[in-house]
Chains A and B, each alone.
Chain A
Amino acid sequence: KQEVTQIPAALSVPEGENLVLNCSFTDSAIYNLQWFRQDPGKGLTSLLLIQSSQREQTSGRLNASLDKSSGRSTLYIAASQPGDSATYLCAVNRDDYKLSFGAGTTVTVRA
């Protein structure tokens, strides 16, 4: 069974600092990996999707890397803003479209 771990569980940084969120998974035979953002009481918003053949994916201030062989992905958020405060979820997709989620990292960016 695929186990997904996100460390740290919570993170508090001053505005302007870069954020580094980690995700590790136990089975390297994945189809893709997806990062989501969840605001309190809301649904999940897709941030980045990395296919298994890719090493990284970028969108604006967000960059996600994938190292399948070591079972790791990292989400970098540059120059954090208070609006980046949310819970970030990592989800690993086997080739059957079933997602295995990590428990998330809750980020607080202090103004």
Chain B
Amino acid sequence: NAGVTQTPKFQVLKTGQSMTLQCAQDMNHEYMSWYRQDPGMGLRLIHYSVGAGITDQGEVPNGYNVSRSTTEDFPLRLLSAAPSQTSVYFCASSSRRGEQYFGPGTRLTVT
């Protein structure tokens, strides 16, 4: 049971490039979410999904897209990277009793 896995661990992008952050969980959780963590700002919700085929926006969705074709996977796409998207990105999944499990994070730098 690997829990929540994320790839890559580190990524450097140039402004304007696009990329996809991968997230997978093997706990059969319906609810998954993406957060970003910035110094002094705490963790903020980007997008979330309550099941395959269903996604919605969180607090800071601009510049990001998500899709959920399977229960296991919830990728986050950066359409055109900007320096303001330099951050640490965490994926999480939630059990039915509401306990959330986080992945190890992806450190993204946009130059």
Which A residues are within 8 Å of any B CB, using their own CB? 31-32, 34, 36, 42-46, 49, 51, 89, 91, 93, 97-99, 101-104
Residues of B within 8 A of A34 (CB): 98-100
Q: Which of A49, A89, A103 lies in contact with B40, CB distance below 8 A?
A: A103
Q: List the 8 shortest-distance A-B pairs measured between CB atoms, nearest first.
A: A44-B102, A43-B104, A101-B43, A49-B99, A101-B42, A103-B42, A32-B98, A43-B102
Q: A98 contacts B102, CB within 8 Å?
A: no
Range for the number of chain B residues in contact with chain A = 20 to 34
- Whether the pair B103, A43 counts as a contact (CB closer than 8 A) is yes
Known pairs A32-B97, A49-B99, A93-B98. 20 more at Cβ < 8 A? A31-B98, A34-B98, A34-B100, A42-B104, A42-B105, A43-B104, A44-B92, A49-B97, A49-B98, A89-B42, A89-B43, A93-B100, A97-B31, A97-B33, A98-B58, A99-B33, A99-B35, A99-B43, A99-B100, A101-B43
Q: List 21 A-B contacts (CB under 8 A).
A: A32-B97, A32-B99, A42-B104, A43-B102, A43-B104, A44-B90, A44-B92, A46-B102, A49-B97, A49-B99, A51-B97, A91-B43, A93-B100, A97-B33, A97-B50, A97-B94, A97-B100, A98-B45, A98-B48, A101-B44, A103-B42
Question: Which residues of A are found within 8 Å of B104, using beta-carbon distances?
Answer: 42-43
Q: Which of chain A's residues has its CB closest to B96's CB?
A: A97
Q: Which residues of chain A are within 8 angstroms of B90 by Cβ–Cβ distance?
A: 43-44
A101 and B38 alpha carbons, distance in the complex (Å): 12
| Chain A residue at smallest Cβ distance from B4 | A43
Q: Decide if B64 is an interface residue (CB 8 Å cutoff).
A: no
Cα–Cα, bound, A32→B44 (Å): 18
Complexed CA–CA distance, A32 and B102 (Å): 17
Question: Residues of B contacting A36 with CB < 8 Å?
Answer: 102
Chain B residues, CB < 8 A from A97: 31, 33, 48, 50, 94, 98, 100
A94 to B50, CA, bound (A): 14
